Amino acid sequence: MTAACHSYEPGEGWFWNYDTNEFYESGPELAPPVSHPADQPAPGPAGRVPANWADALR
């Protein structure tokens, strides 16, 4: 089994293969939903993510 990652950003379709450290411009079509809603900011809903969210990942 290959460990891969697909972008979840609206309009992006790239994949990353963790096993081989390879980047792919595109890949197989995924089942919906293929991205978060375009009006939803990342990393999460506006006003619902703490200002120091990146520090919490470390």
* Between 45 and 13, residue with greater pLDDT: 13
Q: Are 15 and 6 in contact (CB under 8 A)?
A: yes
Looking at residue 2, what is its pLDDT?
66
Region 2-17: mean pLDDT is 85
Tell whether the model's pLDDT for residue 5 goes beyond 80: yes
Q: Which amino acid is at 14?
A: W
Looking at residue 11, what is its pLDDT?
87
Residue whose structure tokens are 């375009």: 38
Looking at residue 25, what is its pLDDT?
92
pLDDT digits (tens, 9 = 90+) for 11-40: 888 999 999 999 999 888 888 988 888 888
